């Protein structure tokens, strides 16, 4: 399959890149291109202009300060793995696709990847046999038939880990920069999964400087290449005598990545099985996988949410040197 025709732009600064994205009609940023290029070959995306941001210095830095860890949007996943600054993020990045994809794919690109659906991500000839769905500009959903919204699923590996870490995202535009909690980057809409406006792009991600222990687990048919059919990230923040704060991140079970935190009234609970059961049950309630992917059934994937949350907590505890947590188990 051939790529459609497009114009290529290579800005020399972040401001110029944002101005190009704002002024050019139907322009898209590109760095690694591991998500965008296949979509263009399939005819799912047809940008008229590609703005290359892969070499912009402002997007290529990894900075560790007292406030936290800041990673530029154009830093590759492989570079993050090699840096090893944050074990949970490293684990999530290492779970993405293959080594080759990690070497090309970037942090910003992974966060801003498109939602996916078995009835949408099809070659052109196969797609012609189906009535256009909501994501293709049509008026139907092939997953539920009677559905009124697009149910395409967000299935990125990195987002749940960053949500569990309490990360913030800085968004650049031609006139200003703004920093928001990472969760606000995602719209929850299958057609347009991110909340970015025209001319905006992700500049960097910042992870707060807090001592924590985490784990990321991924359910998939094959142990390499595959997108997650379920992804669970768990991060534990020891709070001394106040117990422990735990945040869970989920992916591939909704139209956007999800996260939630252990309630304060359970933070001081010394019996690990109590808050482990609560978090597993809460994740189960929030997860709503649908039949829009190949592999395991939605029912199986939802049941495995509880299993993977408990496993991820157990792995995080093993990494913890907080004896009060381990001794209370």
Q: Retrieve residue 16's tokens.
A: 């110029």
* CA-closest candidate to residue 283, choices 231, 227, 215, 225: 231
How many Å apart are CA 82 and CA 275, to the nearest integer?
33
Question: What angle in degrees, to the nearest 10, is found between the helix axes of 272-286 and 298-319?
Answer: 150
Sequence-distant (6+) residues with CB within 8 A of 181 are 168, 169
Ordered by where they begin, the domains of the chain are: 57-115+166-208 (3.30.465.10), 216-327 (3.30.390.50)
Q: Retrieve residue 123's tokens.
A: 């070659």
Specify the 3-state DSSP secondary structure of 106: strand
Per-residue pLDDT of the chain (329 residues; tens, 9 = 90+): 889 999 999 999 999 999 999 999 899 999 999 999 999 999 999 999 999 999 999 999 999 998 899 999 999 999 999 999 999 999 999 999 999 999 999 999 999 999 999 999 999 999 999 999 999 999 999 999 888 999 999 999 999 999 999 999 999 999 999 999 999 999 999 999 999 999 999 999 999 998 899 999 999 998 878 999 999 999 999 887 777 899 999 999 999 999 999 998 888 887 889 999 999 999 999 999 999 998 999 999 999 999 999 999 999 999 886 544 544 44
| Cβ burial, residue 313 (10 Å; 0-12/13-18/19+) | buried
């Amino acid at each position: 399959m051939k790529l459609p025709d497009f114009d290529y732009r290579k800005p020399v600064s972040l401001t110029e890149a944002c101005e190009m994205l704002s002024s050019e009609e139907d322009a898209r940023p590109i760095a690694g291109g591991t998500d965008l290029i296949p979509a263009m070959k399939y005819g799912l995306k047809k940008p008229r202009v590609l703005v290359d941001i892969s070499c912009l210095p402002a997007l290529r830095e990894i900075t560790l300060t007292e406030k936290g860890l800041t990673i530029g949007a154009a830093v590759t996943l492989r570079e993050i793995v090699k840096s090893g600054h944050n074990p949970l993020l490293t684990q999530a990045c290492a779970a993405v696709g293959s080594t080759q994809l990690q070497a090309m794919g970037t942090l910003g690109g992974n966060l801003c990847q498109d939602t996916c659906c078995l009835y949408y991500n099809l070659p052109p000839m196969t797609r012609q046999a189906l009535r256009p769905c909501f994501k293709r500009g049509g008026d139907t959903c092939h997953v539920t038939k009677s559905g009124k919204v697009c149910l395409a699923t967000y299935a990125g590996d990195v987002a749940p880990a960053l949500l569990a870490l309490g990360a913030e995202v800085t968004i650049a535009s031609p006139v200003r920069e703004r920093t928001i909690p990472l969760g606000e980057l995602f719209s929850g809409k299958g057609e347009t999964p991110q909340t970015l406006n025209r001319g905006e792009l992700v500049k960097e991600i910042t992870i707060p400087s807090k001592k924590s222990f985490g784990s990321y687990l991924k359910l998939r048919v094959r142990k390499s290449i595959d997108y997650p059919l379920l992804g669970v990230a768990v991060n534990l923040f020891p709070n001394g005598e106040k117990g422990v704060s735990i945040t869970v991140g989920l992916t591939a079970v909704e139209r956007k990545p999800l996260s939630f935190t252990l309630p304060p009234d359970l933070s001081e609970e010394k019996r690990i099985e109590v808050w482990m059961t609560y978090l597993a049950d809460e994740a189960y309630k929030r997860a709503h996988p649908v039949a829009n992917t190949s592999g395991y059934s939605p029912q199986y994937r939802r049941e495995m949410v509880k299993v993977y949350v408990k496993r991820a907590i157990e792995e995080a505890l093993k990494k913890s040197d907080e004896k009060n947590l381990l001794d209370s188990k």
